[in-house]
Each structure stands twice: as C-alpha cells, then as structure tokens.
Structure 1
Amino acid sequence: MHRDHHSHSHGALHSHSGGHDHLNERRTFFAMLLIGGFMLIEVAGGILSGSLALLADAGHMLTDAAALALAFSAFRISRRPHDRGKSFGYYRFEVIAAFINGLALLVLTIWIVIEALKRIASPPEVMAGPMLAVAIVGLLVNLVAFRLIHGADRNNLNIRAALWHVIGDILGSIAAIIAAIVILYTGWTPIDPLLSLLVAGLLIRAGWSITRRTLHILMEGAPDHIDPETLARELSNEIVQICDVHHLHVWLLTAERPLLTMHITIRPEDRADDVLLRVKDFLAKRYGITHSTIQIESDAAPIIRQDDSTGIYLRSQSI
C-alpha cells in the first residue's frame, strides 16, 4: 500500500529578493542614462579624431546602453506576478536578458578584432589631442556607471552581465587614453588598434562565461554547488526515517532561485508530516533550497527501484 503526500512551497519563490530587485532596477536605469548620453559624445570624438579605440569604445557603450535597457526591462518584467500562463512568474526573463547581453558582448568583441586587424594593415591618421580628452571624460563616466552597478546585487546574472559591459567600457577608455598619449608623443598610430585587440581579448572571456552560464540555466541545469546524488545520499543519512530517494530533480529558475522535486519513501510507522518538515529544513539550511515539491510514499516492503532516464535513486535497506 502507498500513501502519497505532496508538498509544495511557493511563497519563498515569489517574495525572494524583492528589495534587491528594486535596487538593481534603479541603479541599472541611472547607469543606462549615463552611458547612453556619453556614447553620443564619444561617437563624435571618435569620428573627429579618427581613433578606432574611441569608436570601438563608443560601439561598446552603445551595446552597453542597450544591454542596460534590456536589464532594466528584465527587472521590471520579472516583478510581474505569476498567472495562469506563467505559473513560475516572469523571473526567467532576467536570464534571457543576460544571455542576450552575453551574446552581444561576444559579437562586439568580434567586430573590434576585425576593425583592429584592418587598421593594423592600413593605419589611419589619428588626432591624439581630441582622442585623449574624450577618453578621459569617458573613463570618468564609466567609473560612475561602474560604481552604480557595483552597488547592486552582483549574484544576479543580469547585473553581472551589465557589470562586465561597463568593465569593458572602462578598459576601452583606458586603452584609448594610453593610445592617445603614445601617439601624442611618438606618432606611432598602430598602438590604437593593438590596444583594442588587448581589450577584445579580455572581453571575450567575460562574454563567453556569461553566455555559458545563462545557457546552463535555460537548459534546466543544476546549481554548481549541488550534486543531486550527493544531496540524496546526505538526505538519507541525515533523516533515518527515509528508506528511498528517487525521481530527484534540481534546477535553476534564476541564478538565485534553485528549485527541487523528488519522491521519498518512508517506513509505514513514521509520520509523513514530521519527515516532510525535517526534509524542508534540511534543504533550506544545507543547500539554500526554499522552493520544493516533495512526494512522500509509504510502503511496508523494502523498495528496489530500477534506474531510468529520470533516475537518481537510493536502494532502501531492509526494514
């Protein structure tokens, strides 16, 4: 005989990180205005001076403004309550926005590399004075934007993606300043595309890291710090009433919101409600999982379950 008990915990999912989300939203909005406004000045400076470093940085700032606008929209959309069509709400839009921003970072890096190689082959004339002035102001603007976003919740993938875009801007401004000084004193213009290549090399790693991480979440991957087999084993060792753990699935809704479902088998003389409370407490304290769906089964006979495509299981001991 089986007695099935289902438990769902939803409240924590929909209330979690509400304050962080508002903070993230405000800081992202002001950083977007700051970077978007200065981007127009940098485009004019890059065209006037003939500097690839400035134009590359302006192009980066354009994608940054778009990335921050996307991040800002994601925070607003993710606050919408769940409905019949979206039972988990709109949290996943944050991950989608971060994924798009990561791809944009990779595309921008490829463009910088292509343009830099063209200019190394045929160096154009560069006006170092205007280039230096615009690059210095750009660095100051980027530092202010970095300070705004750095003060937000950096565990949020959307914030981390936006932060790396701004870091790329800072690196681009520093590269432009160094290139302008070198050209001003030596006249050696190849330094401009060479430093752009250096910045591109630094950005491509960040872009790939963000893209890979967000794709892992979109593919329902498990959190990095949770191994399902280890979790099942520790749970059985911690709570002696548990005879069997099977059909265990753990995945991420966002980087900060792990979800779990599983079936557990207990001895017929044990109270399901008591075991359930202990399981919930274990998941929250040991793994930070506050949203879970658990089915409790009771059977007098020891259960030996075949492994299957969904299968994480522990073979029960004789009772």
Structure 2
Amino acid sequence: MRAPHCSHIDVFSRFNPNNERKTYYVLLLTAVTMVIEIIAGSVYGSMALLADGWHMGTHAAAFCITLFTYRYARQHKDSRKYSYGTGKVSVLGGYSSAVGLGLVAIVMLFESLYRFIDPVQIHFTEAMIVASIGLLVNVVSVFLLHDHDHDHDHDHHSHHDHNLNAAYMHVLADALTSILAIAALLIGKFLGWVWLDPVMGMVGAVVITRWAIRLMKQTAPVLLDESIDRHYAAQVLQKLEALDADVTDMHIWRVSADHFAASICLNVRDMQSPGFFKRQLAEFGKIHHLTIEVNHI
C-alpha cells in the first residue's frame, strides 16, 4: 500500500559538519595516546597513569558513538520513519556516553582501591613523562571540541549539541585524570607518598561520576519527552483563555534538544478556526510544531 502523501514535513534535526570533523580528529589523538599510556602504566607500575590510559580507551569508544550518531542522524534526516526527524539521536549519543563515563569511574574506583591495598613499584620519572604527553593531548582536544558557535549564540537561544557536549566532557575528564596522575607522581617521587597515586585515582573517579550524572540529567529529560516549563505553559494557557477558549487538553513536549511540539484541544463558542488560534500563538517561539483541535459548542 502506498504511503500517504503529506505536503509539509517537520524535521527537527540540526547538523554541524565542523563538530563531526573535530570529533574525528580527537578520536585519533585519543586512540594513540590511550595505547601509549596503557603500555607505559603497566611497565612503570603507575595506577594513576594506567587509569588515565583505560579512561582514554573508554573515551575513544564514546567518540565512536558520537561519530556514529552524527552520521546516522544525517543519513536519516529525511526518513519518514521518524515522526519528528532525528533530533534526538545526538541526545541519545550524549546519554550513552554519560553512562560509559559513569562505568569508567566505577572501574577506576575499584582498581584504585585494589592498588591502595596492594601497592606496586612505580617508576615515577618515566610515568610522569607519559602522563604529561597525555595531558598535552587532552589540552589540544579541549580546544578542538570547544563549541565556539554555542558560546557565540548563547544569548540568542543557542542550539544544544549534546553529542558534542558529551565528547567535551569526556576530554575534560581525561585532562583531570592526567593532572591528578602528574600530581600524584610528583609528590610520590619527592616525598615518598606512594599511597597518593591510588588516592588520586579515587578522587578522579568521584569527580568523573559527578560529571556523568550531570550529563545524564541534561539528556534524559529530552529522551523522555520532557514538558516545557510550567511558567511558559501557563502563559500559553492564559493567552488562550483570554481568547475565550476553553482548553480541554494541552501537551507541550520536547521533540529534540532545541525544539518543542504542542498539541492543544479547545472548546470555543464562536466560529474561530484552528488557523486563527495558531496565529494568536505565533508569539510563543519555543513551540516549533503546533497542532490545534477546535470543537465548536
């Protein structure tokens, strides 16, 4: 059976090829550094360095998710399979990366506890050199992934790329673990506090867990069709009531990170059309797709 024809299709998807390209470069940098740090951490006995290496490995996987979601969203942006486009694909990628970030923190915590109980010999100088290289890569990656367009448009209802934000959080987490590793190795070398190396691993795990939770809180509401804030909905309701319309049902929910759709049912006494009410609600710019049902009583 032939699919029904529709003259107007809303696609709430945004694509930034520049963000996708920057993520690819960061993936290459991260993968190379990951291999170097894991080998060096194992050879030189540094838990902080080893944790940083494995941490980079999970971030490399997260960047693969980021690139996959960019490509998938772009390839399916015109597909009739998705009612409101692929706007939530990047949000899903961000949420998945946040889950991965949390799992990394848990592994880091348990590995650090094990090293705290059963310490190993650490080659401080060699481990610090490799950790410094890792930090340098992190700094370069931070500048690559920094969303200048987002900052520029922040005061003009900027568009949120949760996918890029997740990648950025992963890079920041990498930078943190590199800094903690270097600090632990320096203090351990000159003061003999070998126990500080696994302690820094624990501290990093706690901080990364907080970042993961923060990213989940940003993305989960979008995936769960979060309603628009109550104040905004109340303004819409007030506008309709001022037009002598009885609102019997109203839903305003997210269809992407930056777009809201609304479905409103009205009982009216005059013969106003749905188009009349759509024009009256045009001032509510957050609503990008509006469906109105009018029942005349």
TM range (shorter): 0.7 to 0.9
Alignment TM-score, normalising by the size of structure 1: 0.81
Do 1:24 and 1:153's aligned partners in 2 also have CA atoms closer than 8 Å? no
- 1:28-87, Cα deviation, whole Å (9 max, x unpaired): 111111111211111121112111111111111111111111111111111222333323
CA positional deviation for 1:9: 7.4
Structure with greater Cα Rg: 1
Alignment TM-score, normalising by the size of structure 2: 0.86
Do 2:88 and 2:222's aligned partners in 1 also have CA atoms closer than 8 Å? no
- Counterpart position of 1:37: 32
- Counterpart position of 1:53: 48
Which of the numbers 273, 277, 280 marks the counterpart of 2:275?
Answer: 273
Q: Report SS of the residue matched to 1:268.
A: coil
Q: Report SS of the residue matched to 1:297.
A: strand
- Counterpart position of 2:257: 255
Q: Report SS of the residue matched to 1:66.
A: helix
- 1:229-288, Cα deviation, whole Å (9 max, x unpaired): x44432243353241223212222332222222223344144543321121x1221xxx2
Q: Does 1:129 align with 2:134?
A: no
Which of the numbers 169, 178, 183 marks the counterpart of 2:183?
Answer: 178
Q: Report SS of the residue matched to 2:294.
A: strand
- Counterpart CA distance in 2 for 1:85 and 1:265 is 33
- Counterpart CA distance in 2 for 1:185 and 1:272 is 76
- Counterpart CA distance in 2 for 1:153 and 1:17 is 13
- Counterpart CA distance in 1 for 2:135 and 2:20 is 23
CA positional deviation for 1:129: 0.7
Give the partner amino acid of 1:233: A
Distance of aligned partners of 1:262 and 1:272 in 2 relative to their CA distance in 1, 3 Å threshold:
closer
Q: Report SS of the residue matched to 2:284.
A: helix
Task: Using the TM superposition, name which of 213-222 and 40-49 deviates more.
Answer: 213-222
- Counterpart position of 2:293: 295
- Counterpart position of 2:72: 77
- Counterpart position of 2:14: 17
- 1:189-232, Cα deviation, whole Å (9 max, x unpaired): 11111111111111101111222433332222224xx22xx444
Do 1:94 and 1:158's aligned partners in 2 also have CA atoms closer than 8 Å? yes
- Counterpart CA distance in 2 for 1:124 and 1:88 is 55
Q: Report SS of the residue matched to 2:121.
A: coil
Task: Using the TM superposition, name which of 24-33 and 86-95 deviates more.
Answer: 86-95
The count of aligned residue pairs is 280
Do 2:88 and 2:257's aligned partners in 1 also have CA atoms closer than 8 Å? no
Give the partner amino acid of 1:70: I
Counting aligned pairs with the same residue, the percent is: 28
Do 1:250 and 1:261's aligned partners in 2 also have CA atoms closer than 8 Å? yes
- Counterpart position of 2:223: 218
- Structure 1 spans left out of the alignment, 5+ residues: 1-7, 300-319
Give the partner amino acid of 1:216: P
Give the partner amino acid of 1:81: K
- Structure 2 spans left out of the alignment, 5+ residues: 1-6, 151-159
